[in-house]
Chain A
């Protein structure tokens, strides 16, 4: 469903993402883990078509994003880590705006769909208030409504739990699982290893712009020989890489 081929992004001489190759199959929640500054957000933004790769390609649903950007974006939903929205619109107007962008506003079922999503994310009472009066968590939930509005085949999410209260977080995890069961693909980048452990069937760990491990949490545990939760696996993998990097620096 998602394929990243030799994906590279260079910012002013600094390789933020370095030759990433990754395949994500249909119907899974895929976790993209890594320490701060590892290149997670840059990768996600390239997948969402918000950033252009320096080299390589993103393929979603068999289409190359550089060649068919509108088609790829039409079947993708994107949720960024910081929900910057049009503050002078109401929540409902914002969703209608998105419906227009995704060519959905002619649908007779649109109003019902809006009501359903607003209800699901507990925003019905706030739907006609200006977004500028929303809290961070409410904005995040509204962005999620918008990303699901056109029923995307692939959902790309950067740090899904930022700003959400425990109830909101539980709801989002359930939605991700349901989407995967429906055959959709959910690609999430997160710092929270608990979230990854709980909802992701497969994960990739990125460090310094490179993928250092992929597989299910169980496979990764076996590979690293670490017992216990994903946190220990993550620390072992990233720590080992860090020490090796420091050694090579001191040797040079």
Chain B
């Protein structure tokens, strides 16, 4: 996949021209999360039912009386996107069995931000994964509660300055490390877990398609750059996502990376990391290498299964 992305600029033409996420939504300029949603909607097509937790993607796509969705979409509370999607899946199964709805393949998608997934929605998600519903859960991770004004979440990386972890004399920004949500999903022994980033559209679309084909729950963690919350120029959001992947800060599983670039370059372009000292950057770099090596070991360990 990596080869396709880097050698053939025309590969993007392979993605469908149809948009199921309409323009005119209210996302900030350069929002990579809106781009991720657009690509996911493209990948899944018409036969999909979406349950969306509270968050950026809910408020920007459905300000009454407008909606950006061209597919059935329901907004639910912050914590229960996974529960609603599993309910829709179970309900549709019964309706099809009783002949009330003609039998066909319908994909069920639950989507939430990092707050709705790794903080508030983790219980409902864990339940749905454990029950084995045939659905996809997608976490759009922009690494803080951006919708309400950049409050830290458990997905905020170490050192990042947010409004509730402000960098100053007392604390150097976020003092805890990012929660490893994909690993939590992996721990449920579900058929498919992936990480993706809209800076690699073909990879993302492929992964979503694969998740839809899989029988049983699938979890995809999408790093979505937020120019507003990351203190980043809007035109750099695609580049920042690419850097996150290339530097190993956010490795894409299933994808092999030979190249390894220093984290600093990724941190340097973001205002939220402006205050970091050399030592702190070194600490972060060490941790990134550690996590990446751990991941490589896991890949080797399970090879040939």
Is the A/B pair a real complex? no
